[in-house]
Amino acid sequence: MHLTSTLLAGAVAVASAAADNNYLGFNSGATLADRSAKFKKDFEAEFKTAQALNGAPGKFNAVRLYTNIQAYATDDPIEAFEAAIDTQTYMLLGIWASGAADITKEVTALQKAVDKYGSKFTDLVIGMSIGSEDLYRNSVTGTKNKAGLGADPEVIVSFIKDYKKAFDGGALAKVPIGHVDTWDAWTNSSNKAVIDAVDWIGVDEYPYYENGKGNDIKNAGKLFDKAYDATKAVANGKPVWVTETGWPVTGEKWDEAEPSAENAKYYWDEVGCRQLFGKTPTFWYNLRDSNPDNTMKFAITKDLSTTPQFNLTCPTTFDTDSKDSSSSSSSASSTPTSRSNGSTSVSSPTSTGSGSGSTGSTGATSAAGSSGAGASASAQAANNNKASGVGKVAASSSVAGILALVGAFLLL
């Protein structure tokens, strides 16, 4: 049987349309700054503010969640789902995997949501991340930094298989699957099995924390590009989503990096406007702060005001020359690295508000404080240098699915 020209044309059209879905969004954890649970009204307030930001270079109508479980519940769906439906917010969902023996409760919460909301819910799901920075936490450096319980590559791969089996044949079966981790976790060859198992790769990158590398704000664009290019170089052609990045508005100086609204604006321009917005699914860190233990504050708004703390309008010219980092990234990515204090001392700012606060799907504490499953206050306080975040890969996974379909037909 031969593949018809009509089918081929249709496949190309679908892939082209998917490539345009470069969503903009923020990260959103399951709890507030005082570690109390977020409910529908809290999520709804966030989503409405995100979509109405003054001067935004596009519509921030997507959100990245870390868990499917409502804070302090066992396996009930997080109320962010209903808030997203009411505000037409696209969702990059997350299954918390660090320290988990299985993902049964996460899956149960998600199945309950599918049964309750149907296509109103599933049509808004743009991606599924199985885990968040688990590989970093289980690295030598993650252990040194007391990042908490993580998960090895084989565990993440097994959870991906469990998820696929649970939703095989259903509406979520078409949703592209990814994993989120730090750039130097991705460039570590021991984690290649995870790259092979996913449809897209999510990278968390904060030049602010790149101590020992000249992390002055004027060099932030180049540092980001180097890490971003290194991740793309090992992605085997799979799309790379930026799931967390940002610059603090207030807080302590970190080596050469200084927090300020002016620097946060510069970073927004040089990294977001120049490199990311409209080009790849991007989930900025963050719309509002949720971790009382972290002295660095990244929120671009105060009290969810639609007037941001700095001008979000993108400039027409930039200081960073993208060619500089592109030429150096190939050498940077050719050597697998593990996370180190001298390179990326911390991957992201902890958001204890990201944890569900529940005993969750694993009963384990969240190392990042962005746990979707059982982040205890003590674990969160001990890991105040980690973070939380939102967006969609339709392009890559759709293309992958189309290519698989084409291959199947050609074999007939």
Burial class (CB in 10 A: 0-12, 13-18, 19+), 379: buried
To the query of whether residue 244 is one of the catalytic residues in this protein, the response is yes
Structure tokens at 29: 């954890």
Structure tokens at 385: 């240098």
| Cα–Cα dist 88/120, whole Å | 9
If you ran DSSP here, which 8-state letter would residue 70 be given? P
Structure tokens at 124: 């808004």
- The answer to whether 25 and 391 are in contact (CB under 8 A) is yes
To the query of whether residue 82 is one of the catalytic residues in this protein, the response is no
Q: How many CA atoms lie within 13 A of 286 on its CB side?
A: 29
| Cα–Cα dist 353/387, whole Å | 9
Which candidate in 133, 205, 210, 270 is catalytic?
Answer: 133
| Cα–Cα dist 125/91, whole Å | 5
- The answer to whether 146 and 383 are in contact (CB under 8 A) is yes
- The answer to whether 289 and 299 are in contact (CB under 8 A) is yes
Structure tokens at 286: 């963050």
Backbone angles phi, psi at 401, to 5 degrees: -65, -40
Other residues' Cβ atoms within 10 Å of the Cβ of residue 108? 18
Q: Name the residue with tokens 């204090």.
A: 341
The catalytic residues are 133, 244
